[in-house]
Amino acid sequence: MEAQSERKAGLLLHTSSFPDAEDIIGNPGPGGRRLLDFMQSASLKVLQVLPMGPIGAGNSPYASFSAFALEPLFLSLADLERDGYVSADQRAAFLEQLTNANRVDFGILFQFKRRLLLENLHGEQLSSAQSVESYSEFCFEEHHWLHDYALFMALRYHYQEKPWFEWPTEHRDRRLIQGIPAFLQQSYEQQCFLQWLMHTQWSSFRNAANQRGIEIMGDCPIFVSHDSADVWAHPELFMLNEHLELDFVAGVPPDYFSETGQRWGNPLYDWPVHQQQGYDWWSRRLARQADLFDSLRIDHFRGFDEYWAIPASSPDARQGSWQPGPGKAFFDAMQEQAGMPLIIAEDLGIITDTVRELLGSTGLPGMRVFEFAPWSEGGFHRTQQWHSILEHDYIPESWPRNCIGYAGTHDNNTFQGWYDEMQPLERYHFFKYLGMLDSRLQQVAARIAGLENQFDALQRMLPVESGNLIIEQGVQRSEVLLQEAYQTRDQILDQTEWPAKAPFEECMQRILESESMLVIIAMQDVLGLGANERMNTPGTSGDHNWSWRLDPDIILDATLADKISRWIASSHR
């Protein structure tokens, strides 16, 4: 998937959201494979998932216990039964706990599915020589992260899932542990076994996707969680003091949306140490991702240019400061390593010139999101601003080839939900962009355009014709007429009955016809779902986040696949 290759379209659907009426959470089993069949029929060439690591705080895939491991709860029980690791009776008893197949109930997930896995899966179940060899090879090749992760998780369960920085000193400091304590041996080996099983199932799923001409795009958060095997095992790579306590944490400064900024709480990297080590940890991290995915989105790309460092003692982000990131040297080092995945830079939000320069120097594709276009009055009020709409970064007509285009991402509202929340003036500009205004609004839009042209022309003449009374009176008269036209427009808008259903297909056609190398469509938007079905609402917490699943009763049939395929074909993707 490179900028000069054919333009493609893909689907955004996290693994936890895959359809499966017989599990609490989506997985790469039979439901996942049926999803791949649907994608193949629909001419969708890329499946984007969110981070796949062990689920941590707030059930967020972006808060994981490891930057290398996979979440064992994604294991397909159907495939485990097929391969003889769980019995039909064990699976049937588990299915009695399933109450809602279109939402992930994390409470039931952690209570029952994890118990099922921990009570029934262990390395002694390996029966064939081929399986034993595969397991041994996996443990050997992945030892550089697997050993610390398995030890970390075994200790975490031993201490009733308390974070590592609350453990006793003899276990809080990884350097004090020699070998594998006897009381942890069984739990340690089980964690290794679960990782092998998950790696095996995911590799099979990825192979099935590739055989259908579908690539898998993963997602890599720039920062790791404080309570993670990575920070516990390698404190020297992070800004911790001699007592293994946080000195600074990650976040973003105050902005238009938040007076106090965002205090994420992740530990920050000690970049000079990473540089001294040749970015070894990062190269191993990305190589591991290349084993799992065909391409990789890296979250918060701007953090490689500058990152916001907040004193750990500060309750919010206001006391932070910008600190230099590793810059291009980091990406040069990664390019020198073999087996690196294609990286997509998440370059959304407030992006400075230096971030743009860094992205340009790396040649990495960035992202464009249609819902971020400024549809409000401030965005497209004046004539020259309306004419420049096609040049705005988030309007499809301006998207470069080397980017990934979206209507919305997992952090956005669904397209229907976004449309439902639009104010009348935003809808006016939106429908004007699509060429879908009704006759009355078309007439007033034409009048406004003419008056704006006249007003702007007179405004440009003022500096040249300073003191010219006729010009000054013309400007005043033109402004009065323009304000009257705006009032007429607003009166019509108050009386306008807009379509209840968002014009997604018309908008999607614009997006697909863009030059972007890849367009990703969220599954909720394919189905026309509303705000209640969005994946995440940033700045909030609760069961509404990260729990959405594709209802297994929704039929992903040939009719829907044909419709999507026609969209894609008509845009020459």
Active centre residues (catalytic): 299, 346, 411
Cβ neighbors of 407 (< 8 A, separation 6 or more) are 369, 370, 371, 415, 504, 507, 508, 511, 521, 522, 525
Residue 406 phi, psi (nearest 5): -135, 150
Half-sphere exposure of 371 (CA within 13 A, CB side): 22
Distance CA 338, CA 345 (A): 20
Distance CA 221, CA 64 (A): 10
Q: Left if phi > 0, otherwise alpha if psi is -120 to 50, otherwise beta: which for 105?
A: beta
Cβ neighbors of 63 (< 8 A, separation 6 or more) are 55, 56, 57, 225
Cβ neighbors of 7 (< 8 A, separation 6 or more) are 401, 515, 516, 517, 518, 519, 571, 572, 573
Distance CA 146, CA 137 (A): 12
Strand order in the sheet with 518-522: 342-345, 295-298, 215-220, 46-48, 8-12, 518-522, 403-406, 366-369
Cβ atoms 49, 217 nearer than 8 A = yes
Cβ atoms 86, 120 nearer than 8 A = yes
Bridge pairing between strands 366-369 and 403-406: parallel
Half-sphere exposure of 538 (CA within 13 A, CB side): 13
Cβ atoms 178, 184 nearer than 8 A = no
Closest alpha carbon to 10 in 48, 36, 58: 48
Closest alpha carbon to 269 in 317, 307, 314, 229: 307
Angle (CA) 71-73-79 rounded to 5° is 115
Distance CA 529, CA 103 (A): 14
- Give the chain's length: 573
Bridge pairing between strands 8-12 and 518-522: parallel
Distance CA 285, CA 53 (A): 12
> What's the token pair of residue 173?
């400091």
Cβ atoms 26, 14 nearer than 8 A = yes
Q: To which residue do tokens 């942890």 refer?
A: 184
Distance CA 424, CA 417 (A): 15
142 secondary structure, DSSP code:
T
